[in-house]
Structure 1
Amino acid sequence: MASSFVIACVGKPSAGKSSFLNAVTDASAKVGNFPFTTIEPNEGIAYYPVACPCAKMGVSERCKPRHGWCEGGRRHVPVRLLDVAGLVPGASEGRGLGNQFLDDLRHADVLIHVVDASGTTDASGRETRGYDPVDDIQWLRQEVEAWIWGNLDRKWAGVVRRHVAVKASPVETLHAQLAGYGTPRDVVQRALDRLPRELVGEFSRWEAGKELRRFVGAFLDERFPTIVALNKIDMADSDKNISAIMKRYHSKGGALVDGVRIDNIVLTSALGECFLRKMQKQRYISYETGSDDFSTDAPGLKPLDEKAGRRLETIRDLVLFRYGSTGVQEAIVKAVDALGYIPVFPVKSLSTFGAPQQGAAFRDCVLVRPGTTVREFAKKLHSQVIDRGYAGAETIGGIQLGESDVIVAGKNNVIKYTVSE
C-alpha cells in the first residue's frame, strides 16, 4: 500500500523545476515497481528515508520492502511528486498557465517552491542578467492567496447569509467552502485557531476584504506548508541573492514570513545532482544522494575523460564542499517532515514481522498523518477486510492496542491486526 499525499514542485518557468524533479526521481534499477496505480507524465516518485525497525529487531537481512529499499536499517519510502505548470505574476487572473497551476494545487499537501537564486531569469522565466529574485517567494504566495480569496469573495455575502440562517459554526461554514481544495476539517480549524478568538466570535460580521482575507492567509499556512529550494547555487551571482533572501526571511523565533520559515529554505543544485547521478549510474563515480562527496577510485569504476573530470571537480568545489550536499534530498525530507507524517509498518506476524511461513520481513511501510489512530489506519490499510472484520491490534511485545490509540513512531507503529472470520 502507498502513502497518498502529494508534494507539488512549484515555481516560475526556467527556475530549474524540471531539473529538480529529475534530480529527485531518477530511480535506479534496485527500486523496483512503483506503488501507485497511475503515474501521469508530469508526476514522479522520490524517496523519503526513515528508520526501519528491521535493524532494532535483528532482521535486516530479511527486510525486503515491497516498494523502495532498505539498507542497514535506513528505509527509503516512495513519495509522490507533481510537477506543476510554471507560475508567473498575474496567474490568479488567468495569465499564462495560471488556471492550470492553481487547479493542480488542489491535489498537493505540501509545496516545494523552486527559486532561481542566480538571477538569470526574470519574473516570467525569461532569460536575463542581474534579476533580483528576492521577491519571487512573496509573489508566488500572493498569487495563491489571491486565487483562493477571489473564489471566496465572489460568493461571500451569500455564504454569510446561509451561515446565519442555519446557525452553523465558523469551521462548518468555511470547511464547506474549502472542501474543493482537498481540505480536511481539522486544517480549517487550525487556521481559525491562528486568529484572535474575538475575531472568530464575530464571524457573521466578517468582510471579504478584511477578516476573510486575513483568514485566507492563515489557511494557506496550514493547507500548503512550503519548502523553498534556492536553486542554481553554483552560479556567479547566487551568493549575494541567497544572502538577500535569507536576510528577508530571517525572523526571531522562526516565525512564518510569506508562509515560509527560514529553516525550511534549502540551498540546491538540481543540475549538479542530475550530473552526479548520471556519472554514478554509468559507473564513473561512487556517489549517494545527500553525500558531501563522491569517489572516482572505488573498485569497478570506469576512467573519466578530462571534460567530465573538470565538471565533477567544479561540482565538488562549488556545491559539495561549500554547502555539504546538492540539497535535493534535504528538500524532500523537509517537505515530508513539514507534514509530520509517521511511518507505520503493518505486519502479519510479530515473531517473523512478515507473513507466517514466509522469509521476508517488513514488506510494507505507509506514511500517515499525525494523529492517526489504530482503527483509522486499519480502514486506510484495507477498508473491506481489516476495518470491517476488525477484532483487535497489537504491537511489538504483544502489547494490545486500543482502537483510539494514536500511532506514534518508535512506540506502536509496528502493528499486527487480528481479523474475525
Structure 2
Amino acid sequence: MSHELIIGCVGKPSAGKSSFLNAATDSQAKVGNYPFTTIEPNYGVTYYPTECPCKKYDKIDACSPRYGRCDKGTRYIPVKMLDVAGLVPGASEGKGLGNQFLDDLRHAHVLLHVVDVSGNTNEKGEETTGYDPINDIQWLKDEIHAWIFNNLWKRWGNIIRKQQSTKSQADQMLQKKLSGYGTKIVLVKRALDNIDQREPINLSLWDKDMLHKFVDSFLDIRFPTVLVLNKVDQSTSDLNISRICERYPDYAMIPSSALAECFLRKMKSQNYIEYVEGEDNFNTHLENDKLKQCDDKLQARLEKLRDLVLFRYGGTGIQLAVKTAVELKKFIPVYPVKNLKSLACDKSGGSVLRDCMLVPKGTEVREFAGMLHPDLEKYYLYAEGINGQRLGESDEISESNNIIKYTTAALESKEKENDEK
C-alpha cells in the first residue's frame, strides 16, 4: 500500500454520501497532478486544514503552495478521498455491490462513515420513518469483519499446517494472509498485542472466538473510522445523535449537514454571502455591502440554516470530519525546502513553502527523502531542520521538525564547483 493518505467515504445508499463528497471536494480545484501521485477517476480531492508554518515564520504574504492553498496562515493540503460503492447488509456475501465495496475498501487508510441520523432511510436507502440508524453503524462493522474473518477461516487449516511445517511466527503467517489489505507486520504485531497475544503463538490453539477477537483488534487499527452523523438539520435527528453517542463512546463523531455546506458554497459562489468553509457563521449584504442582497425567502432560508446547523453545531461538520480523519490516522504535514532562511523551494528564493506532503507517524528523515525522489535517498548526505541543526537519518519526523532541507552528494559537489569559480 502507498504511504499516501487515502480517506474512504462509506455509507449506505441515500445516507448523504454523494452530498458529503460534493461538499468535501472541489471539482474546480487543481487536481490533475498534485504532489507525488495521480488522481484516478474514482477518487476526489478534499483538503486538510492545518496551521501553515508561514504564520509562525512571518511568511504569510510570500507563501505560495503549488497545490491546495494557504488562506491567512491556514494551509489546505490536498488529500485523496475514495468514493466507496454504497453498502447494503450482506455485502460480505456479495449482495448489492458488496464485492466492489470491499475491494475498493482495501485502498483506504481511514474511513468516514456517513450515517443518516434522521432515521428517514432504511438499511437499503429507501425512504421510511422511524428507522434506527444505530443499526447502520453495527452492520457496517459486521460486514467488514465477516469479509476478513471468512477469508482467514476458510484457509485456517492451511495456515496452521504451514506454521507447523515452517516453524514461522504467528505474526508473519497472519501478515502474509492480510497483505492484500495493505497490512505491514507492525500492524499485525499491534493487533496481537492488543489482545494479549505475544510470540511464540501457536495458531493451532486458536478457535473461532479467538480469531474473531483478533479480527476485531485488526480492524480497529487497520480501518479506524470517523462517524459522520449527517442530516443533523432534520427534526428527528437530535434523539438519534444522543443515542449513538451513548452506544459508541469510543468512536470519533462529527455532526454534519452536507446539504447545508453545499448550499452555503453555492450562495458564496453567487456572491450572496461571505463564507469560509468550516466556520460557524457567514456574512450577508447586511454586513457587507459588496454582496448581492437576498430576497426575503432566501434570507429566511439562510437564517434557518444558521440557527439549526452553524450555531447549534459550530459548523456544517464537513471540514472537521476531514481534519479528524487525518489526525485519527496520525499523518503529519512535512515541508521540504532548499533554503532554511527564506523557506524557498528553489534557488531563486521564490516558491516559499511551495510543497507539502502528509506522511504517516513514524516516518524517518531519510525514508522521507526517498518518498520525495529516489535520488534524494540514493545520494543522501544529511538533512537539516529549521534552525540548521542536523537531523539523524533515522529520526522520526514530527511537527517540531517537519521543515527539512536535504543535501545530497551530487548537490554538495555542484556547490563546491560554484564556490571555486
Q: Does TM-score exceed 0.5, indicating one fold?
A: yes
1:137 Cα shift?
0.5
Residue 401 of structure 2 corresponds to which residue in structure 1? 412
1:379 Cα shift?
0.8
- In 2, distance between residues paired with 1:361 and 1:351? 10
SS of 1:266's equivalent in the other structure is: strand
**What does residue range 199-348 of structure 1 map to in structure 2 within 5 Å?**
201-207=200-206, 209-250=208-249, 256=250, 261=251, 264-297=252-285, 298-348=288-338
Contact 2:5 2:109 survives alignment (8 Å) = yes
- In 1, distance between residues paired with 2:186 and 2:296? 57
Contact 1:156 1:208 survives alignment (8 Å) = no
Partner amino acid, structure 2, of 1:288: V
Contact 2:169 2:200 survives alignment (8 Å) = no
Contact 2:31 2:45 survives alignment (8 Å) = no
- In 1, distance between residues paired with 2:200 and 2:72? 53
- In 2, distance between residues paired with 1:164 and 1:283? 69
- In 1, distance between residues paired with 2:43 and 2:351? 30
Residue 51 of structure 1 corresponds to which residue in structure 2? 51
Residue 186 of structure 1 corresponds to which residue in structure 2? 186
| TM-score, with length taken from structure 2 | 0.93
- In 2, distance between residues paired with 1:365 and 1:3? 14
Residue 357 of structure 1 corresponds to which residue in structure 2? 348
- In 2, distance between residues paired with 1:418 and 1:42? 38
Instruction: Decide which moves more: 76-85 or 163-172.
Output: 163-172
Contact 1:345 1:362 survives alignment (8 Å) = yes
Contact 1:3 1:79 survives alignment (8 Å) = no
Residue 372 of structure 1 corresponds to which residue in structure 2? 363
1:293 Cα shift?
1.0
SS of 2:162's equivalent in the other structure is: helix
The alpha-carbon distance between structure 1 residues 242 and 289, as it changes in their structure 2 partners (threshold 3 A), is same
Instruction: Decide which moves more: 50-59 or 106-115.
Output: 50-59
Contact 1:111 1:224 survives alignment (8 Å) = yes
- In 2, distance between residues paired with 1:266 and 1:186? 29
- In 2, distance between residues paired with 1:158 and 1:32? 45
Contact 1:285 1:295 survives alignment (8 Å) = yes
Instruction: Decide which moves more: 302-311 or 292-301.
Output: 302-311
1:108-137 Cα offsets, whole Å, 9 max, x none, are: 000000000001100111111111112210
- In 1, distance between residues paired with 2:273 and 2:168? 62
Instruction: Decide which moves more: 127-136 or 206-215.
Output: 206-215
- In 1, distance between residues paired with 2:363 and 2:201? 32
- In 1, distance between residues paired with 2:314 and 2:402? 32
1:207 Cα shift?
3.5
Contact 2:23 2:261 survives alignment (8 Å) = yes
Task: Return 5+ residue gaps in structure 2 as ranges.
Answer: 411-421
Partner amino acid, structure 2, of 1:401: L
The alpha-carbon distance between structure 1 residues 32 and 361, as it changes in their structure 2 partners (threshold 3 A), is farther
1:305 Cα shift?
2.8
Task: Return 5+ residue gaps in structure 1 as ranges.
Answer: 251-255
Partner amino acid, structure 2, of 1:373: E
SS of 2:333's equivalent in the other structure is: strand
1:397 Cα shift?
1.7
Question: How many residues end up aligned between the 2 structures?
Answer: 405
1:38 Cα shift?
3.7
1:157-179 Cα offsets, whole Å, 9 max, x none, are: 10111112111111111110011
Contact 2:31 2:39 survives alignment (8 Å) = no
- In 2, distance between residues paired with 1:121 and 1:10? 16
1:197 Cα shift?
3.4
**What does residue range 88-237 of structure 1 map to in structure 2 within 5 Å?**
88-197=88-197, 201-207=200-206, 209-237=208-236
Residue 415 of structure 2 corresponds to which residue in structure 1? none
The alpha-carbon distance between structure 1 residues 33 and 102, as it changes in their structure 2 partners (threshold 3 A), is closer
The alpha-carbon distance between structure 1 residues 368 and 130, as it changes in their structure 2 partners (threshold 3 A), is same
Contact 1:8 1:84 survives alignment (8 Å) = yes
Partner amino acid, structure 1, of 2:315: S
Q: What percentage of aligned pairs have identical amino acids? A: 52
Residue 71 of structure 1 corresponds to which residue in structure 2? 71
Partner amino acid, structure 2, of 1:328: I
Residue 414 of structure 2 corresponds to which residue in structure 1? none
1:4 Cα shift?
1.5
- In 1, distance between residues paired with 2:191 and 2:197? 12
Residue 253 of structure 1 corresponds to which residue in structure 2? none
Contact 1:49 1:76 survives alignment (8 Å) = yes
Partner amino acid, structure 2, of 1:394: E
| TM-score, with length taken from structure 1 | 0.93
- In 2, distance between residues paired with 1:405 and 1:202? 32
Partner amino acid, structure 2, of 1:120: N
Partner amino acid, structure 2, of 1:267: P
Contact 2:330 2:361 survives alignment (8 Å) = yes
Residue 419 of structure 2 corresponds to which residue in structure 1? none
- In 1, distance between residues paired with 2:255 and 2:33? 28
- In 1, distance between residues paired with 2:197 and 2:144? 26
